[in-house]
Amino acid sequence: MTAYDPDNIFTKIIEGEIPCHKVYEDNETLAFMDIMPQSQGHTLVIPKSGSRNLLDADPAVLADLIQKTRTVAAAVMKATGADGFRIMQFNEAPAGQTVFHLHFHIIPIYEGVPLKPHAGEAADHTALGALAAKIRGAF
Ligand code: AMP
């Protein structure tokens, strides 16, 4: 597998070089709105330490990340009132990975509402900001 390359957009978000609609942050983890959401409330959870995907991640980082993902998912569910959610995680480009820094997708599911395509259409930034604030308020 190709080695982790720290020159990726999520590293820039962690380092504050580019903005994000943040919903959660601690020493190990950052969660923010996906700018091309597949559904209302689509959120990404990433470790601050770098790995390309699931296979090169430190097991201790992974163990922490899945617990943080659960915490964030609970807040996303509370804030959106979704009927369910999917956790997605892609490994390598043929599997759909487009950003090569490990991340879990939290994708709320609304009964009868089809998901939008993966990494498809950019959402309105004002709406994303309002949603992020609502999720922050749901922890
Ligand atoms: P993946 O295809 O699993 O690597 O997912 C990468 C996700 O990151 C996609 O769902 C994109 O919509 C999302 N994304 C790309 N750039 C940004 C960004 N600057 N801020 C938030 N989400 C992003």
- Mean pLDDT over residues 118-136, rounded? 96
Q: Which of these CATH numbers, 3.40.30.10, 3.30.1540.10, 3.30.428.10, 3.30.460.10, describes 9-136? A: 3.30.428.10
CA gap 95, 83 in Å, rounded = 26
Quick one: how many helices (H) and strands (E) in the chain? Answer: 3, 5
Q: What is the pLDDT of residue 39?
A: 98
CA gap 102, 97 in Å, rounded = 9
- Mean pLDDT over residues 2-15, rounded? 97
- Of residues 20, 39, 40, the one with CA closest to residue 30: 20
Task: Check if the beta carbon of residue 33 is closer than 8 Å to that of residue 132.
Answer: yes
pLDDT band at residue 35, thresholds of 50, 70 and 90? very high
pLDDT band at residue 8, thresholds of 50, 70 and 90? very high
Q: Is residue 7 predicted with pLDDT exceeding 90?
A: yes
Amino acid, res. 2:
T
Q: Is residue 1 predicted with pLDDT exceeding 90?
A: no
Sketch the domain layout of the chain as residue ranges.
9-136
- Kindly report the protein residue whose alpha carbon is nearest to atom 13 of ligand 1: 34
CA gap 111, 12 in Å, rounded = 35
Q: What is the pLDDT of residue 135?
A: 98
* Tens-digit pLDDT profile for residues 59-118: 999 999 999 999 999 999 999 999 999 999 999 999 999 999 999 999 999 999 999 999
Residues with CB under 6 A from ligand 1: 9, 20, 34-36, 44, 90, 96-99, 119
Task: Check if the beta carbon of residue 6 is closer than 8 Å to that of residue 58.
Answer: no
By annotation, the residues acting in catalysis are 103
Dist. CA 36 → ligand 1 center (Å): 7
Q: Which atom of ligand 1 lies closest to the CA of 42?
A: 10
Q: Is residue 53 predicted with pLDDT exceeding 90?
A: yes
Q: Which atom of ligand 1 lies closest to the CA of 33?
A: 21
* Tens-digit pLDDT profile for residues 15-34: 999 999 999 999 999 999 99
Q: What angle do CA 77, 92, 15 make, to 5 degrees?
A: 65
DSSP codes of every residue in 65-122 = HHHHHHHHHHHHHHHH--SEEEEE---SGGGT--S-S--EEEEEE-TT-PPPPTT-SP
